[in-house]
Chain A
Amino acid sequence: MSHDHDHVHHDVGYKEPILVFLALVFLTILTVWVAGRFDSAMTSLVVAFAIASVKAFFVVRYFMHLKYEDKVFFFFLLTALGTFAVVFILLFADYGYRW
């Protein structure tokens, strides 16, 4: 049976995932708490998505193990998100001048 030596060796434990989970719970409560406290609808959405992005960052880095993977995994993520960002920006650049 061949062994997987490519994986970065680190000690697995139950503690880190539980701490990350507690942080996620806190951020969820924060999201609900700040919702509707802003006068502008746009600000509400931006803040909500900013907190959601922080949550997603924690899930991707710790739960999905990206912190412990080879660097190429991170470059793939950047490429995918960058491509989506281009789609997003081009679309709203177009839409912004139509309606």
Chain B
Amino acid sequence: MSDTLNPEMTQVPEMEEHRDDVGARLGFWLFLYTEIFLFGVMFILYGVYRNKYLDEFQKAAHDLNKVIGTTNTLILLFSSLTVVLAIVALKKGDKGKTRDLLIVTMMCGLTFLVIKSFEWQAKFHHGIHLQTASGIAEGHGSPLLTPGDEMLPQGEVLFYSLYYIMTGTHALHIVIGFILILWTTIKLERGSIDKDNPVVLENVGLYWHLVDVIWIFLFPLFYLVS
């Protein structure tokens, strides 16, 4: 009875932390499949309108710069490599190299976004804007023109709508990926990710690869079909 008053006897034995790394990865793959559906249905939308306005889609696609598109593709592919190498480095216990490779990955993501912003600015400069519903309500016809501009053909309007929405959603995912990699790098520095506990980095890596795969399909869709 007096034992219950003894602090050492009332100490609860420490439970071993339950971990299921395979479950963690499998669950993350399930989330990635929802992302595939998100972009997949936009691809279907593109397919339907391309079929209806083939000539206008091809004309509009011609105005996108293949060199810039290819460069961005190579940057993302390289960043996928660096994130894989970071995981290899982590498993070999080389924390410094892991950190450096994650930083390179983030820099690649940033470069992609900067290049993408230049592309969008070039389109804005040519009068092809994103416009609000109020602009359309005011009778400007095409949602991608400023007041007073010549109306673009319907097919080209649809191409640019799809271009902005799809590459915009993709760019948003790059931003999210960047934040996740930054968070992972902080966890690495603090020691909560290490050689024996890599699953958070592995899952963030999976997210980054998905963003890369989406771009692998976006690139020919918009840049190579003229």
Contact = CB atoms under 8 A, between A and B. Distances in A.
Bound together: yes
Interface of A: 1-4, 6-7, 12-14, 17-18, 20-21, 24-25, 28, 31-32, 35-36, 41, 44-45, 48-49, 51-52, 55-56, 59-60, 62-65, 69-70, 72-73, 76-77, 80-81, 84, 87-88, 91-92, 95, 99
B73 A28 contact: yes
Given A64-B206, A84-B37, A31 B29 contact: no
A68 B196 CA distance: 18
23 contacts: A1-B17, A2-B17, A12-B87, A12-B88, A13-B88, A21-B80, A25-B77, A28-B77, A31-B219, A31-B224, A45-B220, A48-B220, A48-B221, A51-B220, A52-B219, A60-B213, A62-B84, A63-B212, A64-B205, A73-B26, A76-B29, A77-B29, A95-B48
Interface string B197-226: 101001001100110110011011100111
Interface string B175-204: 000000000000000000000110100100
B74 interface: yes
Given A41-B54, A44-B225, A52 B22 contact: no
Contact of B44 (A18, A55, A88): A88
Interface string B79-91: 0110111011001
A72 B212 CA distance: 23
A76 B28 CA distance: 11
Given A84-B36, A87-B41, 5 more contacts: A4-B19, A4-B22, A13-B88, A28-B77, A63-B205
Contact of B224 (A17, A18, A35, A92): A35
A2 B33 CA distance: 29
Contacts of B206: 64
Contacts of A1: 17, 196-197
B81 A4 contact: no
B216 A99 contact: no
Given A59-B213, A88-B44, A49 B51 contact: no
Nearest to A98: B48
Contacts of A81: 36
Q: Is the interface of A mostly helix, strand, loop or mixed?
A: helix
A28 B215 CA distance: 12
Contacts of B87: 12
Given A65-B202, A84-B36, A95-B48, A41 B78 contact: no
Nearest to B97: A14
Contacts of A12: 87-88, 91-92
Contact of A6 (B21, B29, B77, B88): B21
